Amino acid sequence: MAQIPIETPAGAQAKVDAHETATDPHAGYLTQTEGDTRYAGVDLSGYTTDAELAAGLSGRQPLDSDLTAFAGLTPVNDDLPQRKAGAWTARTPAQVKADLALSYVDLSGTVPQSAIPAIAVTEYLGAVASQAAMLALVGQRGDWCTRTDLGTDWQLIADDPATLASWREMTYPASPVQSVSGRTGAVVLAKDDVGLDQVSNLAPSALPVSTAQAAYATSRAVALAIVLGG
C-alpha cells in the first residue's frame, strides 16, 4: 500500500501563507470566465463599471431585497405569490382572477350560475288549481305553469318560486267582443235574447192567417166562383 505523504509543519505553514497572499487562491479550479458563467450565468469579464455589471445581471437573479421580501411572505392555503406595484405579495385566487380579468374560473369544471343567462331553458311545470299549488312548484327563471282556477298561464321571472312576486301572469291580446246580449263567458243564445220570443219557428205553409187575410181570401174566392159560374 502506498504511503500518504505527511507535510512537515513548516511546509504546511508555507502553503497556508501562499494561499492567503495569492491574488486568486482558486485559480486552479475555475478561470474568471468559467466562474462568471457558472455562478452569474454570463461572462462578466467585459464589464468595467458597476452600472454595466448591474445591467448584465438584470433579469438573471433577483436582488437580495426581493428574495428577502419573497421569503417574508405569509400566504395561507391556495394563495399565490404575485408581483404588484414593484413588490412581492401573497394574493388569493380571486384577487389573481380579478387582476387577470378572467371571465370564468370554476375549479369544479362547471359553469358558474352567474354566467348562465336568466332564461337558458324553459320548462312547463304543469297545471295547478290554486296560488298555493303554484308557489309550491320547483323551477327556475323562464319556467311556466297553467292556473286552471284562472284559466291563464304564469311564468317565473325571479329565482324564488315560493314567492308570488317571482311569478307574472302572461298577457294576451284583448278580444274585440266583450259580451253578447249582455252575457260573458260561454254564451248560448235563446230567441228571447235577440227579441225573437214572439216569433214562431214554422214553415211558410204552416204559418197562421190573420182574420183580415182570411176575409180577403174568402171574398176573392167568392168573386172567382161567380165569374166561373156565370
End-to-end CA distance of the chain: 187
Q: Residues 143-178: pLDDT tens digits?
A: 999 999 999 999 999 989 999 999 999 987 777 777
What pTM was computed for the model? 0.33
Q: Residues 36-82: pLDDT tens digits?
A: 565 555 666 666 777 777 776 666 655 566 677 777 788 888 888 88
Contact 48, 56 (CB under 8 A): no
Dist CA 115 CA 204 (whole Å):
77
Sorted by where each begins, the domain ranges of the chain are: 32-65, 74-113, 117-169
Helices of type H across 1-49: 9-21, 32-39
Three cell numbers written together for 157: 321571472
Number of alpha carbons in the 13 Å side-chain half-sphere of residue 14? 5
